[in-house]
Homo-oligomer: A and B are copies of this chain.
């Protein structure tokens, strides 16, 4: 007997789980379309050089590589042999990377952003800019699997590329609110920051190169408290004077407008910092004038995701009802396609984390009982003559869009009823000799147990 399992970090999705996942994807897709985004898909495999060097060293090490095939593999193996023989002449990493380049020509998509950038550059002459695209596809990362972290998972991304207008940011904030409200979330916060504000802070302190460690430390304020944040900043090399300068930042509080006013005071000598505040104010005020359904929009200067690539607005969405990391994120990147040679293409995008949204919805019991994917009526099979009769009735029901099936075997009644139960089919129809003669079918409501006689027309009317 072969081993029957799937690779670690990978998942099978049962019909029950698929129905819930599709509900999330359909809701996201519908809103993306409502906002004018168009769908694209890119291949699962990209050329290795398209992906490598785009995600940092750690990211690179998480990329799944695809082995060469046929003659090229034979040749690669021979080369590998050569390289191995030369092994002592190389540091391990070089040896390793050279062999991988040698053995693998393609790699699996690590995210949707880099393939999107590649797509835009490759198809720039066919695209109507600004290009509002969405993409819902799986990505793969050889991360250590753990609760809520998988090696294959879907990303649901919407990006606008080729427009610097902040109205795009406004639209994306609205989109977060729209999708998550439609999914039934009652309390969630969209956190808003701006890379320029963070740059301004590092500039004001006089340590622009320290932007990332400073932000990482600030980010921990809630968790570890002021004292330990200051300790960490000292450890990271801030002088007493620099530490003094940063303190007002930790006291910023109040409404979004109050926070921004205090921040403007703090950043008054930083041009870039003030630019970040201006951008944030525009987004905030425009959103205020049109309103949100459910979301709480909150300026959060400690928000520091994606500092490697974001250049303007930074978004993160968290549920206020379920303790979990961010369920969505996004931001603006001034030069998304530069890596592939197309300069000056500013883009802004967001991503919905379908798996985490699923977990939040499951915990809050937000999935509806009814599903479009479930059979509505099962016909019990009493034998050849009866099933021939039922097949015709089936046909009439399906013509009206009623999801219907006939149990394929004339099995014991108990087994057929169990099947209806297991599959959550709400109605069962029984057609025996009497029913065929009278044309009055026996209909059983599986929930109430109630049984009645109905004509085919009545059956159809009760279902549509």
Residues of A within 8 A of B (CB): 1-7, 10-15, 18-19, 22, 33-36, 38-47, 49-50, 61, 64-67, 69-70, 73-74, 77-78, 80-81, 84-85, 87, 92, 95-96, 99-100, 103-106, 108, 118-119, 121-123, 126, 128-130, 132-133, 138, 140, 142, 152, 160, 163-165, 167-168, 170-171, 174, 178, 286, 289-291, 339-341, 372-375, 378, 381, 387-388, 391-392, 395, 398, 401-409, 418-419, 422-423
Contact = CB atoms under 8 A, between A and B. Distances in A.
B122 A4 contact: yes
A245 B11 CA distance: 54
Contacts of A170: 391
A341 to B, nearest CB: 3
A38 B373 contact: yes
A388 B128 contact: no
A130 B372 contact: no
A6 B46 contact: yes
Nearest to A44: B152
Given A64-B67, A391-B290, A409-B164, A4 B118 contact: yes
A19 B387 CA distance: 39
B404 A339 contact: no
A391 B70 contact: no
B18 A41 contact: yes
A3 B47 contact: yes
Given A13-B41, A33-B403, A66-B67, 19 more contacts: A1-B341, A2-B340, A3-B50, A4-B50, A7-B106, A35-B404, A35-B405, A36-B378, A36-B403, A38-B373, A38-B374, A64-B69, A69-B142, A81-B84, A129-B419, A164-B409, A165-B381, A167-B387, A286-B388
The list of the 9 closest CB pairs from A to B, nearest first, reads A36-B405, A1-B341, A128-B422, A15-B38, A81-B84, A10-B43, A165-B408, A65-B67, A36-B375
A423 B40 contact: no
A43 B92 CA distance: 32
A67 B100 contact: yes
Nearest to A70: B61
